[in-house]
Structure 1
Amino acid sequence: MSFQIALSALQAINNQLDNISQNIANTGTTGYKSSRTNFAAMYAGSSPNGVRAASTTQTLDVAGGLLSTGRNLDVAIAGNGYFMVKDSTGVMNYTRVGVFDVDKQGVLVDHMGRQVQGYGVTAGNAALGNLGNLTVPTGQIPAQASTSVDFVANLSADWSVPANAFNPTDSSSYNSSTVSVVYDSLGRQHTVTQYFVKTANNTVEVHYQNENTAVGTSTLKFTTAGQLDTAASTVAAVNLTPAGANALSVTFDYAGTTQFAGDTSTTTNASDGYASGTMVNVLVGADGSVNAQYSNGMVQSVGVIALATFPSDSGLTAVDGTSWQASAKSGAALIGTPGTGQLGELESQQLEQSNVEVASELVDLMGAQRNYQANTKVISTQNEIMQSLMQVM
């Protein structure tokens, strides 16, 4: 019986050594969670029957440190949750490794080529779409023609009414001028020059010129407190006819413009149009939003990365690729977006490191070695006793 008891100990310790070796080997593995072997005594009725490796405990609730990488598609979870990635067979895996990339089809994938799961978005709609693959448009986005220009400035109350009638070639006939850029349906830029002419107290006329052609006039009225009187002001649309493109009608929005004493200054001068652009980068926000950045300066949201938690994390089954799969013990995944409920936010340009404590593993290794040697001594001693017995017989 002593042989069997000692042999069971050696088998259990071998299992422990496997876990310790796996932990030490994965000290530098991103998102790895260490595990521990739990022993249980065995009995046949009331007779001792040795020991076995009864279970393995994963330290899934212990986070690893964050490593700064400077790469936009390296993402760590600051708190609870797992990324959801679907492999080529359609099986859902859960991982803490946020090493992402965009494949040749424009699909967001992890370092194993598995498809990252998330929610689609629709422009102008706050509701999230269905859960599925996240696709990043990799081609050009089309140009968008301008329809409005946001313009905010202080038009000095110190201006005097010019003596001469307005003439864009005569700088003494206007008080100030500013150039705004607008885009046609082909993405070409056009300039609209605003000439500001004070015509009376608290009244400024705006003459619009497009490439030396007059294209409209607006009248801005101000209150005695220096604020724009939007009800009394009249703002005309600026109509352009670009060659080869759709007709362009742009309205200037002067909300926030003031008339205070001092210098004339412009704080906002931006149109809503843009030229076509190609994707140059993908950014991930703390809320899981995946945003495509284009060469024309535009940023478009293409989806939101989903995270999952489980009723019992300890019930997850570890699989290849520093990942886990759901089991009957873990329960079904509880899915949401980063920063909601118990789910952590995302940290871009960061990766979660292994949570292995090397010093602790080495101490456990020495203990396992001592126990292994002790049990081999039991076998050796039992063997010597048996040999002595055989010699007597």
Structure 2
Amino acid sequence: MSFSQGLSGLNAASQALDVVGNNIANSQTVGFKSGSIAFADVFAGSQIGMGVTVAGVNQNFTDGVLGAGASSLDMGISGNGFFRMTDSAGRTFYSRNGQFKSDENGFVINNQGMFLNGYQATGTPPTIEAGAPVGPIQIPTGQMPASASTGGTMKGNLNSDETAINTAEFPFDPAESKSYNNVTQVDAYDSLGNKHTINVYFVKTGDNTWKAYSSDTTAPLRDADGNPVYQELELNFDSSGQLTTNPPQLNVQSSGYNGADPLDFALDMDGMIQQGAETSMNSPSTNGFPPGLMNGYSVSDNGQIIASYSNGQKQLLGQVVLANFTNPGGLSSEGNNCWSETPQSGQPTIGVSGTGNLGNLYGGKLEASNVDLGQEMVNMIVYQRNYQSNAQTIKTQSEVLQTLVNLR
């Protein structure tokens, strides 16, 4: 019986060394989770055991250290959760390895060609709709289309010390500088992305009273006789210089330009004041923009993939989802740093970073292996001594049998 006991011990110690060797070999594998061996004794209806068996190899799903990634699509998870991926056959896998890249079609894949899953942004502007399906994320490589200006803001101070203009003598005319006190420019864009320069003229007509006029200098609006048409707004201020006009919106209109739709929107002037200081405007702006080419993309800390464009705009492309299990230890190891669902793991819970029992996802980070090299070296020494000790029991039993055989 000692032979079988010692042999079982040799087999168990050998498998334990295999586990240690695998841990050490993967100590630099991104997202790798170390394993630990579990032993169980063997009895066969007697008080003396029959040896040892390997009850299983358990995986340690504690976090590895998050370090800087090398790619704009690198991601790391802190806490519970796995990346959800599908292969070309539609099979689903889970991983903690956040090394991703894009393929020739713009799909986000890992080094084995599996597709990273998440929510795809759709619509104009792209958003993630409630109830959107979970599937492979694709990064569009085309040009970002132009967006026509549909609104804008203009805030600032009008100098109360300015001299009021006699509008009867000098009716408003952009070509006559004596007919207005100040002029400010704001850029706008039409439906084709053509840039329009809008001039806003301010005319002081009396104490605490001004008029604002808008004119599109790129494609001026004209009447049936070809005369320019200007939009105007009366601005009234109280004795403290606060605007009392309601609503304080100056219309901006233009003619069509190079085939684009005419501009027709309002500049919100809420926040304009009148004080005894130099007239100044605080960066007037509109919400339109020209077309743009993609400069690159990055992953935010909530898993959103956001692209930046040459027109200065950013756009949501998709959002990575995470999956978690009631019993991660029940997952089946599939190699390539991947696991698959089993009845023992339970069904996955799918969601975005930081929700429910899911951990946090960080863009530009990678999770290192959680292997403790110091502990593994100690384990290796222990299992080596265990192997030697079991070999010694076999040797001792052999010597005892040899003694019996030699009896005369």
CA distance 1:392–1:323, change in 2 (3 Å): same
Tell me if structure 2 keeps the 8 A contact 1:215–1:239. Answer: no
Aligned length: 392
Deviation at 1:179, TM superposition (A): 1.5
Deviation at 1:356, TM superposition (A): 0.7
Identity %: 36
Map of 2:224 onto structure 1 = none
Q: 1:191 aligns with which of 178, 189, 197?
A: 197
My pick for the range that moved more, 204-213 or 183-192, is 204-213
CA distance 1:269–1:330, change in 2 (3 Å): same
Map of 1:95 onto structure 2 = 95
CA distance 1:5–1:91, change in 2 (3 Å): same
Task: Give the root-mean-square deviation of aligned CA atoms.
Answer: 2.2
Alignment of 1:1-393 (within 5 A): 1-46=1-46, 47-60=48-61, 62-69=62-69, 71-122=71-122, 123=126, 127-162=130-165, 165=170, 166-211=172-217, 213=220, 214-224=228-238, 225-231=240-246, 233=248, 235-392=250-407
Tell me if structure 2 keeps the 8 A contact 1:146–1:182. Answer: yes
SS in 1 for 2:20: helix
CA distance 1:124–1:239, change in 2 (3 Å): farther
CA distance 1:12–1:184, change in 2 (3 Å): same
Tell me if structure 2 keeps the 8 A contact 1:220–1:229. Answer: no
State the TM-score, normalized to the length of structure 1. Answer: 0.92
Q: Which structure is higher in strand share? A: 1
My pick for the range that moved more, 162-171 or 314-323, is 162-171
Q: Distance in 2 between matches of 1:352 and 1:188?
A: 46
CA deviations 1:261-287 (Å, max 9, x no partner) are 323333342222221122222222222
CA deviations 1:56-100 (Å, max 9, x no partner) are 12111x111110136431111122111101112211111111122
Q: Distance in 2 between matches of 1:231 and 1:28?
A: 65
Which amino acid counterpart does residue 141 of structure 2 have in structure 1?
T
Tell me if structure 2 keeps the 8 A contact 1:220–1:228. Answer: no
Which amino acid counterpart does residue 49 of structure 1 have in structure 2?
M
Q: Distance in 2 between matches of 1:207 and 1:189?
A: 20
Q: Distance in 2 between matches of 1:262 and 1:168?
A: 24
CA distance 1:196–1:367, change in 2 (3 Å): same
Q: Distance in 2 between matches of 1:282 and 1:125?
A: 17
Q: Distance in 2 between matches of 1:344 and 1:256?
A: 43
Which amino acid counterpart does residue 200 of structure 1 have in structure 2?
G
Q: Distance in 1 between matches of 2:259 and 2:341?
A: 58
CA distance 1:150–1:126, change in 2 (3 Å): farther
State the TM-score, normalized to the length of structure 2. Answer: 0.89
SS in 1 for 2:378: helix
Deviation at 1:172, TM superposition (A): 4.9
Q: Distance in 1 between matches of 2:214 and 2:127?
A: 32
CA distance 1:170–1:95, change in 2 (3 Å): same
Which amino acid counterpart does residue 158 of structure 1 have in structure 2?
D
Q: Distance in 2 between matches of 1:273 and 1:132?
A: 32
SS in 1 for 2:161: coil
Tell me if structure 1 keeps the 8 A contact 2:214–2:250. Answer: no
Which amino acid counterpart does residue 39 of structure 1 have in structure 2?
F
Which amino acid counterpart does residue 257 of structure 2 have in structure 1?
P
CA deviations 1:265-314 (Å, max 9, x no partner) are 33342222221122222222222222222222222212221111111111
Q: Distance in 1 between matches of 2:18 and 2:345?
A: 24
My pick for the range that moved more, 337-346 or 173-182, is 173-182
SS in 1 for 2:191: coil
SS in 2 for 1:44: coil
Which amino acid counterpart does residue 261 of structure 2 have in structure 1?
N
Deviation at 1:232, TM superposition (A): 6.2
Map of 2:223 onto structure 1 = none
SS in 1 for 2:297: strand
Structure 2 unpaired stretches of 5+? 221-227
Structure 1 unpaired stretches of 5+? none
My pick for the range that moved more, 374-383 or 308-317, is 374-383
Tell me if structure 2 keeps the 8 A contact 1:137–1:279. Answer: no
SS in 2 for 1:14: helix
